[in-house]
Amino acid sequence: MAESSSLPVLFSTELVVLPGMVVPIELDEAARAAVDAARASSDGALIVAPRLDDRYATFGVAAHIVQVGRLSSGEPAAVVRAERRVHIGGGVSGPGAALWVEYEPVDAPEAGDDARELAAEYKALVVSTLQRRDAWQVIDAISQLSDPSAIADTAGYAAYLSDEQKRLLLETPDVEERLATLIGWVKDHIAEVDVADKIADDVREGVDKTQREFLLKQQLAAIRKELGEDEPDGADDYRTRVEAADLPDDIRKAAEREVDRLERSSDQSPETSWIRTWLDTVLELPWKTKTTDSTDVDAARAVLDADHHGLDDVKDRIVEYLAVRARRAERGLEVVGGRGSGAVLVLAGPPGVGKTSLGESVARTLGRTFVRVALGGVHDEAEIRGHRRTYVGALPGRIVRAIKEAGSMNPVVLLDEIDKVGSDFRGDPAAALLEVLDPAQNHTFRDHYLDLDLDLSDVLFLATANVVEQIPPALLDRMELVTIDGYTEDDKVAIARDFLLPRQLERAALTTDEITLTDDALHKIAADYTREPGVRQLERLLAKALRKAATKLARVERPEPITVDEPDLKDFIGRPRFTPESSERTSVPGVATGLAVTGLGGEVLFIEANATDGDASLKLTGQLGDVMKESAQIALSYARSHAEQLGIDAARLDDAIHVHIPAGAVPKDGPSAGVTMVTALASLASGRPVRSDVGMTGEVTLNGRVLPIGGLKQKLLAAQRAGLTTVFVPQRNEPDLDDVPAEILDAIEVRPMTDVAELVREALEPAAVPAAAAA
């Protein structure tokens, strides 16, 4: 190193360098200038000093640059070897952009015996620390040192000393003082390491103790088993319950595996509670329990007839199921190929026709237990298949819970409102029902929670729905569809007399001796007070009338029996809510009466057409769907191109045409209003109103062909309620008339049609005859 009183200085913010250390220093702009100045003017010599907390040190080390290069990260760096302590003076001018300072070497006093003793003690402490880390090469290097000052300065490599501590060592030239300070710091560090080691040993001993306790518990369990002693509320209790339970072989093996896991698990493990809950669920399921079906077909039909009026399709299907099952049992064919003889029916129809209550009657008919599963508004797939056992609070799905609640493997399970199932980010419950409701698959239904095959093939599934179109096609394909249409007026009167009225008399604490409702009154209520396919509103009105009667009887001391006839209804339930309006609505040209089907059953649909001056155009209002809009365009195109065949003035349809379907707040869609739109346009163009007693339904093509539609029975029921006497239907729907009650066909003349032009001619009022021609 060149002998001079000034050198460039490199201030290090990352580490404190003590004499004897060889370290790499990352170079920033100022450090780079100092290195360049040292290599150019002082033979690679420079001062390295720490800078902590933005304070420049007054002590540093005179060092020599060994190498300049880059670190593994790619940053420039210089390797320096520190040689001796220096005291830094004031700044001086020097070549280059580096900061030059004056310095004065700091020579440590000659080491005495005390310093050597302290050095030996410190060396022993350092060696003891390094031995714990197996740093034998470093131990050899320190063992070769004999100078007390050099031994003390090796503390610059100690990772357990802070930069402030190392800076204090740099600023302490006295060797004895330096060594004494270091010995205190190393002893503190060794004490901390001893505490940490003791904690680690205690933890290790705790783990070993837990393992030892587990082994002892296993041995104790084995000893108790040999002695024939039971351990209540433990794994042995579950093993005893599994052995005593009447389980299928595969289920027993799975349960025994879980009991083995329970015996190996610690009581503090969360897995223990999961296993116990799973075992409780498995042991509570009725794996081999089945009820015996009633095989008396006549008695079954009698029970169904006693509970519900009408609904012959459903009753016939249940009786057929009973007859087939009885024959299979008689011939030993209860189970074939692992599949039972269950059934999956979906009862589709408007509200209030008895779909849900029918499930209870079916269960009573078969002698089975009944369980209702409400699916309306369910959006989570786990509600059907269950949650995985790893989730906190996991439970089996609703199907498994229904089987457990029923207590048998062949109950009647009613899946209520299956068309109201939705889907979101939690999955699609309807997709999970595909396996449940497939007779070819449900004998191996697997719930996520149980993770076992559950045989559902003997379960009689009854699903209910209002709108079949809202059921996914793949799910609907797995079920047998039984349509329940609305009731006729006579059906409603019979239901009211035989079922509703007795029930409401009991609720109102009345008897037939105290109040009587005549058949005329019941007919009046069904015709003019309700316009529903079911009987819920009818029952509410009966309850209202009986409450009024109970109030009147309570106000007199000696009441006379009350008879409610048709003229008395206004006093008991108010004025009629519905009156025939077809004649009023169709009294002007351009209005036709159509028929439609909604989720609430059949409805009468009036279609109005009007023309205003302007360019030829078509305006549609009434919140119509795309299909109905297209039907209106097809109807207008047909009417314009076949004006002569329809007997109308085509010029009337070249104006701005406005087609409106009232009840604009209700969405409407479907193609079955095509013939009604053609009739309304023909009435508008000819100036002849549509007959008030006529209703119609059917899809129309551009060539005027009348195509078939759905829901004919419900539409005819709506026509009867509206007081129509003639209904035009598509010719291809004529076979559907077999399902229509005879009383409807007696009250309504049903006219099958194939050509819409012929339908229009018969639906319009006759043209007025001029007076001159009449004379």
**Residue 349 annotated as part of some ligand binding site:** yes
Beta strands 343-348 and 460-465, pairing class: parallel
**Residue 690 annotated as part of some ligand binding site:** no
pLDDT digits (tens, 9 = 90+) for 171-206: 888 888 888 888 888 888 888 888 888 888 777 777
Q: Where in the chain are the domains?
A: 6-105, 109-227, 230-284, 297-480, 489-573, 582-763
Predicted local confidence at residue 267, as pLDDT: 66
Rounded distance, CA 218 to CA 221, Å? 5
pLDDT digits (tens, 9 = 90+) for 334-360: 554 445 556 788 888 888 888 888 888
Annotated active-site residue 672? The verdict is yes
Is the pLDDT score of 581 beyond 70?
Answer: no
Predicted local confidence at residue 747, as pLDDT: 85
Predicted local confidence at residue 374, as pLDDT: 87
Beta strands 726-730 and 694-696, pairing class: parallel
**Residue 492 annotated as part of some ligand binding site:** no
Residue 129, judged by CB atoms within 10 A of its CB (0-12, 13-18, 19+), counts as: middle
**Residue 232 annotated as part of some ligand binding site:** no
Q: Which fold has domain 582-763?
A: Ribosomal Protein S5; domain 2 (3.30.230)
Q: Closest by alpha carbon to 44, among 75, 16, 78?
A: 78
Q: Which fold has domain 297-480?
A: Rossmann fold (3.40.50)
**Residue 354 annotated as part of some ligand binding site:** yes
CATH architecture observed for domain 109-227: Up-down Bundle (1.20)
pLDDT digits (tens, 9 = 90+) for 608-623: 988 888 788 888 888 8
User: CA 379 → CA 243, 250, 383, 451, distances in Å?
Assistant: 39, 32, 8, 22
pLDDT digits (tens, 9 = 90+) for 74-105: 888 888 898 888 888 887 877 777 888 888 88
Task: Find out if CATH 3.90.1150.10 is the number for domain 489-573.
Answer: no
User: CA 531 → CA 496, 499, 669, 690, distances in Å?
Assistant: 15, 19, 21, 23
- CATH top-level class of 6-105: mainly beta
**Residue 340 annotated as part of some ligand binding site:** no
Among the listed residues 341, 361, 672, 686, the single catalytic one is 672
467 φ/ψ angles, rounded to the nearest 5 degrees: -125, 110
**Residue 20 annotated as part of some ligand binding site:** no
Residue type (1 letter), 505: L
Q: Closest by alpha carbon to 744, among 768, 769, 720, 724?
A: 720
Q: Which residue(s) pair with 81 in the sheet?
A: 22, 64
Among the listed residues 123, 668, 713, 715, the single catalytic one is 715
pLDDT band (50, 70, 90) for residue 599: low
**Residue 352 annotated as part of some ligand binding site:** yes
User: CA 411 → CA 359, 456, 462, 724, 735, distances in Å?
Assistant: 11, 10, 11, 45, 37
Annotated active-site residue 683? The verdict is no
Instruction: Average the pLDDT over 274-284 and give the result.
Output: 86
Three-state secondary structure call for residue 520: helix
pLDDT digits (tens, 9 = 90+) for 450-509: 888 888 888 888 888 888 888 888 888 888 888 887 787 788 888 888 888 898 888 888
Q: What are the structure tokens assigned to 439, written together?
A: 């007779």
pLDDT digits (tens, 9 = 90+) for 420-456: 887 777 777 888 888 888 877 888 888 888 888 888 8
Is the pLDDT score of 549 beyond 70?
Answer: yes
Question: What ranges in 79-135 are assigned the alpha helix state H?
Answer: 113-132
In this structure, what is the dihedral angle of CA atoms 128, 130, 131, 136, given to the nearest 10 degrees?
-130
pLDDT digits (tens, 9 = 90+) for 204-247: 777 777 777 777 777 777 776 777 655 545 556 778 888 888 88
Share of the chain above pLDDT 90, in %: 3
